Chains A and B, each alone.
Chain A
Amino acid sequence: MDRPDSRLTRRAALGGIGTVLASGGVIYGASRLDSGSSESTGAQFHRSTESTDFGIDLQGHPIMGSPDASLDLYYWSDYQCPFCRRFERETLPELVENHVRTGTVRIVFIEYPYLSEASMTAAVMDRCVWRQVRDEEPSRYWPWHSAVFEAQGEKGSGWASRSNLLDITRQVKDIDAAAVDTCMWQRGREIESSIRADVEQAATFDIRGSPAFIIFDTASEAAGKLVGAQPYDRFETAISRIQNA
């Protein structure tokens, strides 16, 4: 009677060890999957006070690319969202190189803070930085935007606290962190309310997570939606499809 039970005990122990190894392997693999860093885009930014035919009010949003681009890419993101960082690292550089710098696509950055209160803090600071640079040298926005995504830590770890984000801002050349802090005190509520309106509008486009994208042809008014950090060729296919619609 003892022998089968001891065999079972050994098997159970083997099962336990196997489960621990499988968990460790998956966790280690997952921790290595997100390495790399985003590159500088070199693309131009501009501001606009218009609303697009798709219904996006461009006021307050950083816009990358040519004002005359035939396609708009509306990009909803949260600074605390790891999938957004993955998109910025792995897909955005190629998208900028092949479609934004060539003048075909312009990207409209829309804040979609939904993961925690710190997401809203980062979103409001984003708008304050944009307000500071949009008139004179809008391309100064990009180093700040990239620096924050590069500094992304675990949600709830405090990395997106106001003080830490201001520390990050101080390290970004040509951004006045003190002015950003003042903007957050003085305009924070107003900006927050406009961001909440953007989040509500996103829901009307059936956007439920980030990153999310809508590609819109300004001439034909054809539009298509992509969700998540999809590989570059999926964007390439979607752009071709909208252009040929």
Chain B
Amino acid sequence: MSGSALGAHVSRLGAAVGYPLATPRRALVTAAFAVATYCLLVLSTFPTYSMQMLGAGPGYVDDALLALTANTYRTVGGTGLGLIVVYAVATGVALTTTVARVRDAGPTGARSLWSVLPGLVASGCASCGAGVLGLLGFVGALAAMPFDGNLLRLGGIALLVGYLSRVGHPRRCELAPTGDEA
């Protein structure tokens, strides 16, 4: 990749990350997506436990989230937990920009939904995969993953960042990324 192409990617990434913070409403929607993603990932690290706790009533949601956050920290360390948070935030940004693109560009923008999926799935699998694999009978799957799954999490985040650096600002023409806002 040439220097100018790399510069364009960095510029588009900055635009994509900056877009959700342009208005309080977008920031709130992005935060909501990020929090929902974090909750989903953390709860899915131990699905049977989460199902029992949530099945016992909504009053146990906070208990389950706190217990599994502490468990995740003790299991995969600060790095692993940090990667999950970064992934959740990146997902929030990606979903907000994708929704904006779909709303503004219609069916053409809808294709962006498909392009964001690989990153979401890859990193999501790394974050919650051990729990889901355990549910399927692959006990100790986390232990088998390189760096307790952190490498896969990092790979997933890289895919998401790659997606954001490719799409850039959702309200700018893809063919003229340096043009004015639509």
* A and B assemble together: yes
> Are B66 and A15 within 8 A (Cβ)?
no
Interface hits, B84-125 → A, CB 8 Å: 85-86, 89-90, 93
> Are B77 and A154 within 8 A (Cβ)?
yes
- Chain A proximity of B90: nearest CB distance (Å): 8
Q: Is B7 an interface residue (CB 8 A)?
A: no
Contact of B85 among A15, A26, A227, A237 (CB under 8 A): A26
> Are B52 and A227 within 8 A (Cβ)?
yes
Main secondary structure of the interface of A (DSSP, over half): helix
> Are A12 and B86 within 8 A (Cβ)?
no
Contact of B67 among A18, A208, A229 (CB under 8 A): A229
A234 to B54, CA, bound (A): 12
Q: Could you tell me how many residues of chain B have their Cβ less than 8 Å away from some Cβ of chain A?
A: 51
**Contacts A86-B71, A203-B137; A11 near B18 (Cβ below 8 A):** yes
Contact of A12 among B13, B49, B74 (CB under 8 A): B13
Considering only CB atoms, which chain B residue lies closest to A16 in the complex? B17
Contact of B52 among A4, A8, A10, A226 (CB under 8 A): A226
A34 to B97, CA, bound (A): 37
Q: Could you tell me how many residues of chain A have their Cβ less than 8 Å away from some Cβ of chain B?
A: 44
Main secondary structure of the interface of B (DSSP, over half): helix
Q: Is A48 an interface residue (CB 8 A)?
A: no
Q: Is A29 an interface residue (CB 8 A)?
A: yes
A230 to B51, CA, bound (A): 12
> Are A30 and B70 within 8 A (Cβ)?
yes
Residues of A within 8 A of B169 (CB): 8
Residues of B within 8 A of A14 (CB): 18, 21
Interface hits, A114-172 → B, CB 8 Å: 114-116, 154-155
> Are A34 and B74 within 8 A (Cβ)?
yes
Residues of A within 8 A of B90 (CB): 19
> Are B48 and A7 within 8 A (Cβ)?
no
Q: What are 5 A-to-B residue pairs whose CB atoms are below 8 Å? A: A23-B81, A26-B81, A30-B70, A83-B71, A209-B48
What residues make up the interface of B, taking CB atoms closer than 8 Å to A?
Answer: 11, 13-15, 17-22, 34, 38, 46, 48-49, 52-53, 56, 60, 63, 66-67, 69-75, 77-78, 81-82, 85-86, 89-90, 93, 131, 134-135, 137, 139-140, 142-143, 148, 169, 178, 180-181
